[in-house]
Amino acid sequence: MDKNQLQQWIVEYLKDTDYELITLTVSADNEILVEVDRLAGVDVDFCAELNRYLVEKLDAVEPDYSLEVGSVSLTDPFKTKMQFEKNLGHDVELLVDGKKLHGQLVSVDEETFSVDIEEKVAVEGKKRKETQIVTYTWRYDEPKYVKYDLKF
């Protein structure tokens, strides 16, 4: 299976939509996984249409494959800037320098994103630390992962 050809077909199909290709994997057994996302959420009918389009293309070149087209999981790490934008204002979990952090995603730009994290901070003139909101900014490639924070 030619992954580059498959990616070309998907990008061609998505070009006039507000969807983005998030994940494309092709296993050694030709098991294909396509995950898409968009700011407004993923429509199941759109995934079905993309699936039919890919089946037409694949059937012409590859007799033996399995195909799954869907949206990213709520628990998957963010992979694109659009996913950060989609989750602006939501609580996120991130792993930075081996530490798991939790906070609210408060800004996103071309190079960085910022998260407000509640911390105990030493305050001048006071014996006890006080809880305050501290804003941290990272480049997209700095954390090991950033994902939606599911609070149970």
* One domain for residues 138 and 94: yes
On whether both 143 and 86 belong to a single domain, the answer is yes
Residue 142 lies in a domain: yes
Classify residue 76: in a domain, yes or no.
no
Mean pLDDT of 100-119: 97
94 and 146 in contact (C-beta within 8 Å)? yes
Show the domain range for 103. Answer: 81-148
State the pTM of this model: 0.86
pLDDT for residue 152 is more than 80: no
**Residues paired with residue 133 on neighbouring β-strands, in sequence order:** 118
Instruction: Please give the pLDDT value at position 74.
Output: 87
Q: What is the pLDDT of residues 73-89, one digit of tens each?
A: 988 999 999 999 999 99
Q: At what angle do helices 3-14 and 44-61 cross, to 10 degrees?
A: 140
Same-domain pairing of 50 and 90: no
Q: Report the alpha-carbon distance of residue 17 to residue 92 in Å, rounded.
A: 27
| Residue with token string 């890919």 | 54
Q: The CATH number of the domain where 116 resides is what?
A: 2.30.30.100
Domain count, the chain: 2
Domain assignment present for residue 43? The answer is yes
Which CATH number does the domain housing residue 59 bear? 3.30.300.70
Pick from 72, 73, 82, 104: which is nearest to 91 by CA? 104
